[in-house]
Amino acid sequence: MTALEVDLAGYLAVRRALGYTLARTEKLLAQFLLWLQERDRDVITTDLALEWATLPPARGSNWHAQRLGVIRVFAAYLHAVDPAHEVPPADLLPQRPRRAVPYLYTDRELLALMDATSVIPTPHRAATLRAVIGLLAVTGMRIGEAIRLDRNDIDHEHELLVVRDSKFGKSRELALHPSTLHELRRYLRRSDRPVPAEPTAAVFTSAAGTRLTYCNVHLAFKRTVGHAGLRPRSAACRPRPHDLRHTFAVNTVLDAYRCGADVQTRLPLLSTYLGHIHPGSTYWYLQAAPELLALAGEQLEEHLQGGGR
């Protein structure tokens, strides 16, 4: 093992202790170190980092910048111990923002989306997608969290759902409405539920009875969106499964405004419920929905008229 490989192991250990998974980072940095070793180089320089980061193939306009960004963070870690390692400038390869604009579903669109699952030809598959959409809409779960659910993660007695070892290695409990538990029980008791070759504890299963995959959901969801008549609102704003999570977050804050609750005290609770490790991550979900802006504006106006500072 080379000195840089030892440093990489330490770097990954430190960052993973902070909650990062770094699967792609580890793969890219291992490739970069192998590339350096083939050239008999053991010190990171800006020129070497740039040369490797811009190697073909380029998967997209941001791919080279992403590769360089991975090296930059590692180089900064090394530079703190050995200044011989250079940290590539942050603006060396400009990266264009590509984050999608969340598609906030109205209540009518959510109902239309769930009804449109009937376009899926197999009854069990249609019921599975409907149940997944409904659960994401009322809990704000990540789609990967829903897919990983096992039967024993549903606590019927205490009306809870346990999300285990999710992003950043965190687990949490989500309170469920009785109607949600009722729908989950009805889904699990379907007589047409496929029997897999090997037993599975998964809540949501495919047509073969195995645990559902993201590809299963993505393809079926896309078909359902078309059948429901939902259209993109812009080139960057298209209906996606993850937007159910955005919609849940916005609706939670809207409910707080409408019932006169203290929104600022509710935000940390929302962050915890969503599984965020920092409230700043939650603010991204609170997109500028017209209703949300209107209610926030009304409260600000009342505050100013009341002489608040």
Annotation: CATH topology of 107-228: hpI Integrase; Chain A (1.10.443)
Cβ atoms 103, 238 nearer than 8 A: yes
Residue-range domain boundaries for the chain: 3-79, 107-228, 243-305
> Hey, how many other C-beta atoms are within 10 angstroms of the C-beta on 232?
12
Residue 234 amino acid letter: S
User: Any long-range contacts for 289-298 (C-beta under 8 Å, 24+ apart)?
Assistant: 289/104, 289/250, 289/254, 291/254, 292/250, 292/253, 292/254, 292/257, 295/254, 295/257, 295/258, 296/257
pLDDT digits (tens, 9 = 90+) for 80-115: 999 999 999 988 887 666 667 889 999 999 999 999
Q: What pLDDT score was predicted for residue 96?
A: 65
pLDDT range class, residue 56, cuts 50, 70, 90 = confident
pLDDT, tens only, 265-308:
888 889 889 988 777 778 777 765 666 767 667 766 776 776 55
pTM: 0.70
Q: What is the pLDDT of residue 296?
A: 67
Tens digits of per-residue pLDDT, 1-34?
Answer: 899 999 999 999 999 888 778 888 999 999 999 9
Contact 174, 141 (CB under 8 A): yes
Measured between alpha carbons, how far is 291 from 309 in angstroms, rounded to an integer? 24
H or E element that contains 144: helix 143-147
Cα separations in angstroms, 246 against 17, 211, 268, 284: 28, 25, 16, 9
Give dist(CA 70, CA 56) in Å, integer: 17
The residues annotated with a catalytic role in the active site are: 142, 167, 242, 245, 276, 285
Closest CA to 190 of 114, 118, 115, 124: 124
Quick check: 198 and 190 in contact, CB under 8 A?
A: no
Contact 293, 287 (CB under 8 A): no
Q: In this model, does residue 232 exceed pLDDT 70?
A: yes
